[in-house]
Amino acid sequence: VLKKIKKSGELVVGTSADYPPLEFTASENGKTKYVGVDIELAKDIAQDLGVKLVIKNMSFDSLLVALETGKVDMVISAMTPTPERKQSVAFSKIYYKPSGEYFLVNKKDKDKYTSIQSLKGQA
Ligand code: ARG
């Protein structure tokens, strides 16, 4: 694959740009572009390889098939390495680990709302 990438001068990356802040779209003078942490990572990889980055945006569910059928050279899409997925594709080392989900409350309420459960019936 690396040979093919270098020969074509393009790294084709599949992503599902619906997952901010990792991959999403932004419009800049009427043009849609792909942005996010993963997109930056893809840019860096393409730059290291000395090739142009081509992003193919698709539904998250299409990504693995696209990779397996060679429609894309790699996938960068906040994809968690699950045992099932590991059977068909090779994951890189983990570069981002979500450490949890947060909610924020006003400081004065901090003892009142200490967990998701404590929010029950408050809305
Ligand atoms: N980490 C989750 C998974 O692997 C969700 C990733 C969703 N990513 C996306 N670009 N929509 O299933």
In this prediction the ipTM stands at 0.96
Instruction: Tell me if 14 CB under 6 Å of ligand 1.
Output: no
Residue 110 Cα to ligand 1 middle (Å): 31
Q: In percent, how much of the chain has pLDDT > 70?
A: 99
Could you tell me the two tokens for 110? 């901090």
- In angstroms, rounded to a whole number, what is the distance separating the alpha carbons of residues 21 and 10? 25
* 21 prior amide bond cis, ω within 30: yes
Residue 18 CA, closest ligand 1 atom number: 11
**Tens-digit pLDDT profile for residues 94-110:** 999 888 778 888 999 99
Domain spans of the chain, in order of start: 2-88
Query: In CATH, what class is 2-88?
Result: alpha beta
Q: Which pLDDT tens digit goes with each residue over 2-34?
A: 999 999 999 999 999 999 999 999 999 999 999
Nearest of 82, 109, 5 to residue 50 by alpha carbon: 5
Phi, then psi, of 49 in degrees rounded to 5: -80, -10
